[in-house]
Structure formats: C-alpha cells, structure tokens
Structure 1
Amino acid sequence: MTSTENNNNNSNNIHDGKSEKEHADAIHSQHFKTELIAGAMSGALTRCIVAPLDVVKIRFQLQKHDTSHAHQSAVYKSTLQQEYSGVFQTLSKITREEGYRALWKGNLTAEILWISYGAAQFACYSSLNRILDENYTKNICKDEHYKPPPIISLVSGGLSSAAATLLSYPFDTIRTNIVSKKHHVSIYETLKELEKTRSIYNGVGSSLLQIVPLMALQFTFYETLKHTWINLRTNHGNASTQTAKADPVGQFICGGLSGAMSKFLVLPLDVIKKRLQVSKGSTMHYTITTMYRYEGWKSFFKGAIPSLIKAGCSSSLSFMFNNTTTQILKN
C-alpha cells in the first residue's frame, strides 16, 4: 500500500469518526428534546389523576397524633388534631365539608411543579446516562433496548431528581401550604406569607434526603423490572423487542411496583419534609425529636397507605405516559 493510500484511509477514518460523533450528538440532542416534552406531558397528566390522593396524603402527614404519653406538654397536646382516620373517610370528609374542588386544591401550583419536575428529571436522566455510560449512546443510536448497570441508574436517577427538586421546590412549598388549609387561599397570599418568613425553601434538605434515594431506587427498580418484562415478552410471549419496549401494560406494572417499593423505603423522610414545610422556622432535628417524643415512631409512617397508593399510581402513570409520548414524538 502506498503512502498516498495510507493517508487517504486515515483521512476517511477521521471523517467517519467525526461523522459518527456528529450523528450521535444529533440523536442525543433530539432525544433530550423528546424527553423534555414527554416528561412535561407525563407530569401534567399524572398530576391530574393522582391529585385527590395527594391531598389525602398531605392531610394525614400534617395531622398530629395523640399517643397519650404522660410526658406530652400541654402546649403540644393543644395542637393535636384527630380528624382523619382512613382514606375513604378522609375523602368523604373533605368533599362534604369543603366540596369536590378541594380534592384538587393547589392544583395549579402542583401542575407547574409536576410539569417542571417531570421535564427536568427525565431529560437529565437521559443526559446523565449518556455521560456516564458509553454503551447507552451506542444503543440509543441503534434504537435498541439497553439496561444500564444498576450503579449508573442509581447515580443518574439520584442526580437528575436533585436537579429537578431544586428547580421545582418553591411550587411544592406553595402547594403544601395551600392544601394544608381548609379555607381558600390564593397563590399570591401564600407566596407573600412565605416570603415574610423566608420559608420558600423550608425543608429542602429533608426533601433532597428523601427524593434523591427515592428516585435513585425507583429508576434502578424500573430498569431492572422493565428488562425482566421485555425478556419475558420476547422469550415466552413471542413478541419483538420493539413491541415489548412499547407495551404500555408493562410500563404501567413496572412503574407501579418500582414506585411503591422505593416510596416505602423513604416514607419517614417525606413525612418530615411535609412537617417542615408548614412549620415556620423549625429545624429538621427539632421536628424529628418532637415527632418521636410526642407521637411515637409510627408518626414517621403517617399516611402510609395513601402514600404508597399514590406513589404506585403516579409512578406507573408517569413512566407509561412518558414512554407513550416518547414513542408518539419519535414516530
């Protein structure tokens, strides 16, 4: 082979390499935009459906429980309220006393919260997978099914949720304060009150402690369950990989299981976060010690049933809507 031919081959390899990189970058740019839109749509649709469960969950978590401990202070006992005793009783009580619209109380801020959170989370998760795992890029370019290693899913899920939480947290605080009140309050009034006490980011530390492991576990569980589902469909159901990937039933089941399992593991942190959001100026340490001293360890699992139902439903709907919207946008 002559020197000229060698130079030509080297030049072609460089151009091919550059072309492949440009192709991968173009696909990832399109993939990022798709995930951004799909995540926003997923958040909006999911929120509309699970809003009543969210209201019930928050009412449970903010309700203080009388454990009849002799050492309870008179001041603390005076704040104890036992209005809600079950999911259906709570739904009935809220609709009877406050009307059906109360089940969607704070829904405007919640929609903004879920749209911004969903868009940021799914887009960041995809981008972090690309950065951390080169095999992810190769399989995305080929449009093939690929299960990231668990450690990649853990890190990407955790970091993407942290970014999404910091972006959307003010809307979460506003929504929680609106839902916690029986009388109607506007977003403006709530925001004004929060600005006075400088508590718009109250509980953000607890929120990050809860949401980062929650979503890290949720994405890891989901990727594992989805991979298992696709293998079952392709090996025993005679379905193609693409058909199994796009199956909304599989996405719904895998999303629901991953959401419920991960939520149960971090539920105490969610309860602490909600208490911090409505108690002006309280620290995490004070909230934890007060809850344990006066309400017992069970207080950290307040609203467990509606929380797990809501987590399972929202996770299943979120993953299903996200994947379905992604498929529609791609087609």
Structure 2
Amino acid sequence: MKMSLTSETERKFELVCKNLLCGGIAGMVSKTTVAPLDRVKILLQAHNRHHETHGVISGIRHIMKSEGPLALYKGNGAQMVRIFPYAATQFTSFEIYKKYLDGVFGETSHIDKFLAGAGAGLTSVALTYPLDTIRARLAFQVSGEHIYTGIAHAATSIFKEEGGILALYRGFIPTLMGMVPYAGLSFFCFEYLKYGCMKYLPQFTCKPCEKNTGGLVLAIPAKLICGGLSGAVAQSVSYPLDVTRRRMQLAMMNPETHHFARGMFSTLARIYTDHGIVKGLYRGMSINYMRAIPMVAVSFSTYELCKQLLDLDTGIKVKV
C-alpha cells in the first residue's frame, strides 16, 4: 500500500513538473515572438515623448534607426526571467483548477473554464508581478536616457528609492482586475472553440492522436486560429486596465507623470480626462491586436504541442 501511495505521489509530481515545463516554454516562445511589438506598445501606452507622434511601423523604424535592431528586444531578458514562472504557473494552475471545477456547472457548460482561467491568471500574476514592473521600466528606456543598467539595478533602485516592496507592486490592483476577464476569457474562448472544432468540424480542424487512443487533437492551424481569436476577445475587454497598469508602473520615471502613482481609479480618471477613450484608455490598441493575437495563438499552440510531446495530451473523444 505504501509503495502504491509513493508511486502515485511520484506520478502526480511528474505530471506537475511536465505541465510547468510546457507552460514555461510556451510563454517564452510566444513572448519572444512578439517582443518588438511589445516594446513599441509600452512606449505608446505611457506616452514616451520620443514616440508621441509615432504609430506601429514608424515606431519600429525609429527604434531601429536611433537605438539599433537589438533595441527592439530591450527588456526581453527581464521578460524571459518573468515569463517562464508566470506561464508555467498559469497553465499548470489552469489544469488543476479545471480538474476540480469539471462538471460543477453541468456537463455542457464552459463556465468552469472561465473560472479556472481567471484563477490561473490571478495565481501567476501574484507570484511574478515585480518582474513585470522591472521589465516595463527597462523597455521604457531609450538610448542616452538610461536610468537602470539591468534587472538587478532596476529592482534595487525601485526598492530603495520608491518605497520598498510596495513600489514593485505599483499597478497591482488594476492588473488583478484586468486579469480576471483577460485570463478567464482567453482560456474560456480557447477551450470553447477547441470543443466546437472537435464536435462540428473534426474533418477540417482535427487529427487522430499519435498515441492511438482513439481521441482527437487539434491540428496546428486550428490551434493557431483558436488561440488568436481567444486573444483578440480577451484583450478587447481588459485593455483599459492594462493601460492603467503601465501608467502606474512607469509613473515614477518622470516627474511630470508622478500623479499616475496615486491609485487605480485616479489614474483611470486622469487618462480619460487628459486623452479620452481612443487616445487614452485604448491608446496602442492597434499594436496590441498585432501582438496579442499571434502571442496567444503561439502560446496555446506551443503549450498543446509540448503536452503532446510529453504524453500529457492523449486526445479528446467528443460526442457528436
């Protein structure tokens, strides 16, 4: 009996480790894919004075001309340090929450997927938020005006000069509020679309699992499409809170923007008062679609492929 319990514990531990690895790899691949667009988005969101008149393409050109091609990946090192534990925790938490919520709202309901996704997003962001603040600070810098020399310097400077650990969590509340619809809708939409493809369009979107289990798995093009649509829906709903988070994270880098550090609601109101909805709360939305759709598509696709490679996904049998 003791041997059986030990082997069961080891099996569960192995499954968790494999899920963490799959999630971490998916996060790193997807974020690196869109890193140049991510940097431009941050510069636009926070109204960097060097990019006030730029759009997506002109912003990329300006960065390459003034700072060099590698500057498009500025802050990506901090992003990789953050994204592996973030994505690993998010995807693994989702699998755990989904398992315990399965069937709670009925066999055909997908509400459990939304709640599992929202819970996974909250769990991951709570663990890794300081690294997101540091990465945003590094990405916001332009050549000749550097304040921080790297990840460690940014972390210690923010901690010492801006109020300790709370400074690293500035913008945390709008992030949590934005994470519920963003992560919840991302996972909900992906699982819903995945289920729909398998039930109604299996001949076009699916293939038999290579493990000969009789189950179906999504083909790569279908994975990308489902992931991309999920990202578009989720970003459309949660974007204003993402802008608020960025303004709060970057508020202390310029004396003229210190007022954005006061709180979430005052920051939201100030953005709306100063710039309105389109040029304020949804500033940078076009580039956000350009980065979010491929990012979420690549993230879900990479995760599902890694699961298949590590024998975590043996296919789904859908009743027609």
**Pairing partner for 2:284 from 292, 303, 306:** 303
What is the CA deviation profile of residues 151-190 of structure 1, one whole-angstrom value per residue up to 9, with x for unaligned ones? Answer: 1111110011101001111110001011111134322331
CA distance in structure 2 between the partners assigned to 1:50 and 1:303 by the alignment: 14
**Pairing partner for 1:294 from 258, 267, 274:** 274
Verify: 1:61 aligned to 2:45, yes or no.
yes
Q: Which has the larger radius of gyration?
A: 1
User: Unaligned stretches of 5+ in structure 2?
Assistant: 253-260, 313-320
> Contact between 1:42 and 1:319, CA under 8 Å: does it hold in 2?
yes
> Contact between 1:133 and 1:148, CA under 8 Å: does it hold in 2?
no
> Contact between 1:233 and 1:239, CA under 8 Å: does it hold in 2?
no
> Could you say which residue in structure 2 is the equivalent of 1:103?
72
> Could you say which residue in structure 2 is the equivalent of 1:3?
none
Could you tell me the percent identity over the aligned residues?
26
> Could you say which residue in structure 1 is the equivalent of 2:250?
278
What is the CA deviation profile of residues 77-97 of structure 1, one whole-angstrom value per residue up to 9, with x for unaligned ones? Answer: xxx775343110000011111
What displacement does 1:113 show? Answer: 1.4
User: Unaligned stretches of 5+ in structure 1?
Assistant: 1-14, 65-79, 136-146
> Could you say which residue in structure 2 is the equivalent of 1:42?
26
> Contact between 1:106 and 1:178, CA under 8 Å: does it hold in 2?
yes
> Could you say which residue in structure 1 is the equivalent of 2:180?
212
Verify: 1:121 aligned to 2:90, yes or no.
yes
**Pairing partner for 1:328 from 302, 309, 318:** 309
Verify: 1:112 aligned to 2:81, yes or no.
yes
> Could you say which residue in structure 1 is the equivalent of 2:55?
86
CA distance in structure 1 between the partners assigned to 2:53 and 2:126 by the alignment: 31
Equivalent position amino acid for 1:55 in 2 = R
> Could you say which residue in structure 1 is the equivalent of 2:151?
187
> Could you say which residue in structure 2 is the equivalent of 1:317?
298
Instruction: Kindly report the root-mean-square deviation, in angstroms, between the aligned alpha carbons of the 2 structures.
Output: 2.6
> Could you say which residue in structure 1 is the equivalent of 2:256?
none
CA distance in structure 1 between the partners assigned to 2:205 and 2:155 by the alignment: 53
Q: 1:181 to 1:247 in 2, by over 3 A?
A: same
> Contact between 1:260 and 1:309, CA under 8 Å: does it hold in 2?
no
More helix by share: 1
Verify: 1:230 aligned to 2:210, yes or no.
no
What displacement does 1:101 show? Answer: 1.2
What is the CA deviation profile of residues 74-120 of structure 1, one whole-angstrom value per residue up to 9, with x for unaligned ones? Answer: xxxxxx77534311000001111111111100111101111111100
CA distance in structure 1 between the partners assigned to 2:28 and 2:282 by the alignment: 27
Q: Give the TM-score normalised by structure 2.
A: 0.82
- How many residues in Structure 1 have an aligned counterpart in Structure 2? 287
> Contact between 1:209 and 1:269, CA under 8 Å: does it hold in 2?
yes
Q: Give the TM-score normalised by structure 1.
A: 0.79
What displacement does 1:24 show? Answer: 8.1
> Contact between 2:178 and 2:238, CA under 8 Å: does it hold in 1?
yes
What is the CA deviation profile of residues 63-82 of structure 1, one whole-angstrom value per residue up to 9, with x for unaligned ones? Answer: 17xxxxxxxxxxxxxxx775
CA distance in structure 1 between the partners assigned to 2:131 and 2:29 by the alignment: 17
